[in-house]
Structure 1
Amino acid sequence: MSRTQSYYRMLDAAAKIQFNIALILEAKAVEAEKSRHWVCNHLSPMAYEGHTEQVKETMDVHDQLIEVIDGLTKMENALAKNLQTILNRKDESDSGDLGGGGGLGDLFGGLGGGLK
């Protein structure tokens, strides 16, 4: 297998990982919507002994969401670092046909410039 084919396989694997992450996030969004609906319709201030209990429960949910967001951010940063490594190696070697450039902006075809 040539170096270019290896790069394509790595990029394809990264794209599949991103797709699976999107599916997981979509499922989490549906789950969160169901939870929100249940909380809004079934919990009231009378369900708690006091305001302190209600705030504590809210903070627990908030902390869980922060942990999920933090975990996803770390995972996405690691994937981006891997892609940068792959693309920067392409710049150094000058062999293969992955396309010009090498930064993550080039990977996505300079999307930022095309959205004017």
Structure 2
Amino acid sequence: MSRIESYHRMLQAASQFQYNIALILEAKALEASRSCQWICGHLNAAHFEDHGDQLKKSLEVHDQMIEVIEGMTKMELALAKHLQILLGGSESGGTNSADGDGGNYYS
């Protein structure tokens, strides 16, 4: 297999990976919409002893959604970094960062 064919296969795999991520995000959006409707109907003041309990439960739900978003973001950043290395390496023979930070997306 030639180098070009190898790059083409890697890009096809990355494309399929992105498609699967899009499907996951679509499912998560639908789940979030349903959860929102359920939460708005069931996490009202009548179901809790005091406002602190209601706030605590709402924050737990919120934290779970933030964790999902953070995980998907980290996965996307890692994939973008690998694609940048792949594309930068195939075009110029080495890694090349247009923004001058060496391609470091992690803080």
- Tell me the TM-score normalised to structure 2 length: 0.81
| Alignment deviations for residues 72-100 of structure 1 (CA, whole Å, 9 cap, x no partner) | 1110011001101111111234xxxxxxx
- The SS at the match of 2:49 is coil
Structure 1 residues 1-116: aligned runs within 5 Å = 1-93=1-93
Unaligned runs of 5+ in 2: 99-107
Q: Which has the higher contact order (CA 8 A, sep 6+)?
A: 1
Compared with structure 1, are the counterparts of its residues 3 and 103 closer, same or farther at alpha carbon in structure 2 (3 Å cutoff)?
farther
Residues 87 and 103, structure 1, Cα contact 8 Å, conserved in 2: no
The Cα shift of 1:52 comes to 0.4
Take 2:18 and 2:97, find their aligned partners in 1: how far apart are those partners? 18
Number of residue-to-residue matches in the alignment: 96
Take 2:43 and 2:62, find their aligned partners in 1: how far apart are those partners? 17
Residues 43 and 54, structure 2, Cα contact 8 Å, conserved in 1: no
Residues 45 and 54, structure 1, Cα contact 8 Å, conserved in 2: yes
Which segments of structure 1 move beyond 3 Å, counting only runs of 4 or more? none
Give the partner amino acid of 2:74.
K
Take 2:50 and 2:40, find their aligned partners in 1: how far apart are those partners? 18
Give the superposed CA RMSD.
1.8
Unaligned runs of 5+ in 1: 94-101, 105-116
Give the partner amino acid of 1:71.
G
